[in-house]
Copies of this chain bind each other. A is one copy, B any other.
Amino acid sequence: MPEATKPRRLTPKGQATKNRIIEAATALIAQRGVAGTGIEDVRAAAGVSGSQLYHYFASKQALIRAVITRQADSALDPGLPRITALDSFEALRAWADAAIERQRENGCRGGCDLGTLAGELSGTDEESRTDLANGFLRWKDLILNGLRAMRERDELRADADLDELAFALLSAHQGGTLLSQTVLDVQPLEASMNATLAYIRSFATDQRQPVR
C-alpha cells in the first residue's frame, strides 16, 4: 500500500498491538462467525484496553475489513512454504495438495477464510462484499498470471480461455472447501481440484506429461 493512503505510520510496537487485535478477531470469528463476535470479546482476547482497540479500529466494520484484507493476503498460501507463482502444472498441483492437506489437518473444520466470510457477509453487508470481491479478484489474477506465463512458454495451447480456467479453478477451490467443511471430509475438495486441474491439463501442448 502506498504510504500516502495509510492513515498514520505505526511504531513497531503499535504494529504488533494492531496485529494482535486482528489475530484475536480472526480466531474468534473462526469459532463464532462475524455476527457472534463482539468487539468487547476481541478486546478481552487480545488483552488490550478499549481505548487501545479504538485507537486502531474505529468500529467493528473497520476491524472486519482488516480481517478480510489479512485473509485475502494469506489465503492463496495455505500454510505451507510460500507459493509465489502458480505458473506450472507442478506449482498448481502443489497448491491444490497444500489446500487439501490443510483441510485434512484441521479435520475440515473451517476457519475464518475468505469463502466463509463471503458466505456470511456478501449478501448482507455491502462494504464487506466489496472488500471480499477485491480479495477474490486478486486471487483470480494470481492464477491468471500463472496461466498466462504458461501460455507464453507454449505450455498451454493458444485456444485455452485463461479467464475461464482461472475462475473455474478458484470456484473449485472455494466450492470444494465449502462442501468439505460442511460434510467434514476432504473428498469434495480433492474431487473439485483434481477435476479442474485435469481440465486445465487437457490444454497442455505436451500431452505426454503425467496426468495427475
A176 to B115, CA, bound (A): 11
Q: Is the CB of B168 within 8 A of A122?
A: no
A130 to B168, CA, bound (A): 27
Q: Is the CB of A32 within 8 A of B195?
A: no
Give how many A residues have a beta carbon under 8 Å from the other chain's beta carbons. 58
At the interface, is chain A mostly helix, strand, loop or mixed? helix
**Cβ of A173 < 8 Å from any Cβ of B?**
yes
Contacts of A207 in B (CB 8 A): none
A61 to B35, CA, bound (A): 16
Contacts of A191 in B (CB 8 A): 163-168, 171
**Cβ of A31 < 8 Å from any Cβ of B?**
yes
**Cβ of A50 < 8 Å from any Cβ of B?**
no
Contact with B along A20-47 (1 / 0, CB 8 A): 0000000000111111100000000000
Contacts of A198 in B (CB 8 A): 199
A181 to B136, CA, bound (A): 11
> Could you list 10 examples of A-B contacts with CB < 8 Å?
A123-B181, A133-B182, A165-B191, A165-B195, A170-B188, A171-B178, A174-B179, A195-B199, A199-B199, A202-B202
